[in-house]
Amino acid sequence: MERIGYIGLGLMGKSIARNLLRASYPLTVHNRSRGSVRELVDEGAQAANEPRSVAESSDVVITNLPDSDDVESVVLGPGGVVEGCRAGMLFIDNSTIKPETSRKIAERLEQAGVEALDAPVSGGDIGAREGTLAIMVGGRSDAFRRAFPIFEAMGKTITHVGESGAGQVAKACNQVMVAAQMVAMGELLLLAQKSGVDPRRVVEAIRGGSAQCWTLDVKPKRLFSGERSPGFKAEMMHKDLNIVMDTARACGLPLPGTAANHQLFRAMLQMGMRDLDNSAVIGVLEVLAGESLREPDA
């Protein structure tokens, strides 16, 4: 069985790593803050002090880090993965980063005889915990086939999209839809309430029709209870939309709807909501509307 190294044990990374342990993969972990490392060591993982050490003790190295610069530094920088890797290894990146960064890393690792896959994920903290993530993969077909059993321990919808960078393009497209859904959900909840209709009943009514989506299935119940803690942080949603808009500019493609949603998530950060869930973009709409979503007993 492949020895796996996992770098980046944040909100989703820790749950993904835990699922790999449960699938009986020998696992080495590294994270900047050590609390998550200690948790996984208690469950059977080995700890490493730097990315290079992770690579030295693994056949497959997986990263899950906040942004493009973080992944590039951890993989290609001093003490990075590239310094500990050897020919025949496989590198997988679960982060959401710029497609061009994924291609740059793949080209550099190829020089060391290492195959690389960009494999960003979608499904939030729930999907990470339950192993039901959607995984969109860019890279060579033979590397994808090798990685497929590993992906099966992480998610349920596993798609080889194309060559290097294609997984990140798919994730950018995914985030266009996610942002639109979060904003639309906030608008419809406030519209229903402001019109004197119970928004809970509205959600119940429309979820079975053409408006049905994961967002309406999962998020309203949490909002109705006043729960806005993160499954996926607003700060990360904003970062992902930066990537979307950069990718669109590189293609010469206008994205007017996404540009408006980007501004709403930027407003979240400016209003001190960066650590809330991306569905808490309703908070910006509440300020604009002068209307707060009421809890059931309010």
Q: Which long-range contacts (CB under 8 A, 24 or more apart) does 39-47 make?
A: 39/14, 40/9, 40/14, 43/18, 45/17, 45/21
H-state helical runs in 155-281: 166-194, 199-206, 214-224, 234-251, 256-270
Classify 20 as helix, strand or coil.
Answer: helix
Say if residue 195 is exposed, middle or buried (CB neighbours under 10 Å; 0-12, 13-18, 19+): exposed
Q: Look up 171 and say whether it is catalytic.
A: yes
Is residue 91 classed exposed, middle or buried when 0-12, 13-18 and 19+ CB atoms within 10 A define those classes? buried
* Token representation of residue 260: 């408006």
Helix residue spans in the chain (DSSP H): 13-22, 35-42, 51-56, 68-76, 81-84, 99-111, 124-130, 141-152, 166-194, 199-206, 214-224, 234-251, 256-270, 282-289
* Annotated catalytic residue, options 104, 171, 233, 239: 171
Tell me how far apart the alpha carbons of residues 127 and 289 are, in angstroms, rounded to a whole number. 32
Q: What are 118's strand-pairing partners?
A: 93, 138
Catalytic residue list? 171
